[in-house]
Structure 1
Amino acid sequence: MLIHGMGRTPLSMLYLQHRLRKLGHNPHLFGYSPTLESLQTVTDRLLQRIQTQVGSQPYALLGHSLGTVIIRNAYHQLSSHPPAACFFLAPPMVACQAAKFFSKVGLYRLFTGEMGQLLAQDSFVGQLALPPHTKIYVGTGGPRAPWLPFGNELNDGILSVVEASGGHKVVTVPAIHTFIMNSTPVVEDIAQSLDALA
């Protein structure tokens, strides 16, 4: 199940879906709207979708950015049939600098709704569990310069490597936040991991 990030739609995952399908896997897209839905509403829909589409079969969850937060929020309710693996692309593992800054901007608040505000709260992000068997991919293709928000720190343009890793072991790739799902090393590594599970 492929879950897109904030400000994107399932269309952003189409190329990844196509590539995984060509490699013999059966990926499905899951869409949501942070503008119109609460985190709990989206979580409940994801749980229902897994139940109806997956049944008792083994499955994996792949999330990009906010999609990883939705997976982490749902995980404790998947204890009777947990995913065999999770793949997190550019996850906000801590309440990140960008969310804290933009959470005060009216237009951001309007378009990102409750979920955009939650991303800025240390207490919320900090209490989300990391599912076992999770592989984290972090981009390092963001700009670096002393006068930029991240300075010379490795980043993907939205998150620093530190924010996206949260102290966990990660796979770094030369990609930017918005398009990390199209990174060939990411796709190949995910496919190899799925093949090993199979």
Structure 2
Amino acid sequence: MTDTIVLLHGIRRTSASMRKFENHLQAQGYITRNLDYPSTRYPIERLAEIVAEEVEEAADNNREGRLHLIGHSMGGLVIRAMLKNYRPSNLGRVVMVGTPNNGSQVADFLKKVPLYKAAFGPAGQQLVTDQSTFAHIFGPVDFELGIIAGTRTIDPVSSLIIGHQITNDGKVTVESTRLAGATDHIAIAANHTFIPSNKVMWTQALSFIRDGKFLR
């Protein structure tokens, strides 16, 4: 029995950012669906509806196997919003990589900057730490969820915004990735932008997909 893994990239990225990871997953025997979605055009709840259509198709194409979901950065938030309203009957496990489940201080700092607003669109305004106006788009974590956080920053400006004393990946703090109900959580030495190509992340994500836990 072969399982399917659906991959979701982060904001202002494309499926190309997940391509090396996808190739690795295929080499391990998985069917993959590496989605492109208009991450800067709509708010997260609308993106979830768009993604749900493709996830449903991927699930229908492999009803005998399980369907797992892996999201980088905002891709993890899109997964959360999607699973509130649509859940494949053959849902397996979910992995979030560098996902700002509690927002990002960088988005707080930039949210009113015109260039940021234009470049990141409606969803960019939902990456802030004050989630009071849109928390309703997410449901409870009642599925198997593994979260991978990064601890390496290479951006001095973002580090200054977040604070050098707070462990982060250059965009998201380790604490912000945490989510009540998650099955497992691990932090690795990786940067937010480049974590999709990080082979340690690949190993940890596959460990959770296969066994429901990370390697220690």
Deviation at residue 77 of structure 1 after TM alignment: 1.8
Q: Indicate how the Cα distance of structure 1 residues 190 and 35 shifts in structure 2: closer, same or farther if over 3 A, else same.
A: closer
Q: Indicate how the Cα distance of structure 1 residues 179 and 130 shifts in structure 2: closer, same or farther if over 3 A, else same.
A: farther
Answer yes or no: is 1:73 the counterpart of 2:81: yes
| C-alpha distance after superposition, 1:99-149 (max 9, x if no partner) | 11111111111121111112224215644233521100000112599x833
Answer yes or no: is 1:158 the counterpart of 2:171: yes
TM-score by length of 2: 0.81
Deviation at residue 82 of structure 1 after TM alignment: 5.9
The structure where helix makes up a greater share of residues is: 1
Deviation at residue 62 of structure 1 after TM alignment: 0.5
Aligned with 2:32: secondary structure? coil
Give the counterpart of 1:107 among 95, 107, 115: 115
Give the counterpart of 2:197 among 182, 193, 196: 182
May I ask how many residue pairs the two structures share in their alignment?
A: 196
Give the counterpart of 2:131 among 117, 122, 134: 122
Q: Indicate how the Cα distance of structure 1 residues 28 and 79 shifts in structure 2: closer, same or farther if over 3 A, else same.
A: closer
What are the within-5 Å matches in structure 2 for residues 49-60 of structure 1?
49-55=54-60, 56=63, 57-60=65-68
1:144, 1:153 within 8 Å by CA — same for their partners in 2? no
Q: Indicate how the Cα distance of structure 1 residues 38 and 166 shifts in structure 2: closer, same or farther if over 3 A, else same.
A: closer
Gaps of 5+ in 1: none
Deviation at residue 28 of structure 1 after TM alignment: 1.1
The structure where strand makes up a greater share of residues is: 2
Distance, in Å, in 1 between the alignment partners of 2:73 and 2:141 is 14
Q: Which amino acid aligns with 2:132?
A: S
Answer yes or no: is 1:10 the counterpart of 2:22: no
2:33, 2:58 within 8 Å by CA — same for their partners in 1? no
Q: Indicate how the Cα distance of structure 1 residues 124 and 14 shifts in structure 2: closer, same or farther if over 3 A, else same.
A: farther
- The 4+ residue runs of structure 1 with deviation greater than 6 A are none
Distance, in Å, in 1 between the alignment partners of 2:37 and 2:155 is 32
Aligned with 1:28: secondary structure? strand
Answer yes or no: is 1:136 the counterpart of 2:141: no
Distance, in Å, in 1 between the alignment partners of 2:43 and 2:202 is 30
Deviation at residue 65 of structure 1 after TM alignment: 0.6
Q: Indicate how the Cα distance of structure 1 residues 179 and 124 shifts in structure 2: closer, same or farther if over 3 A, else same.
A: farther
Answer yes or no: is 1:148 the counterpart of 2:160: yes
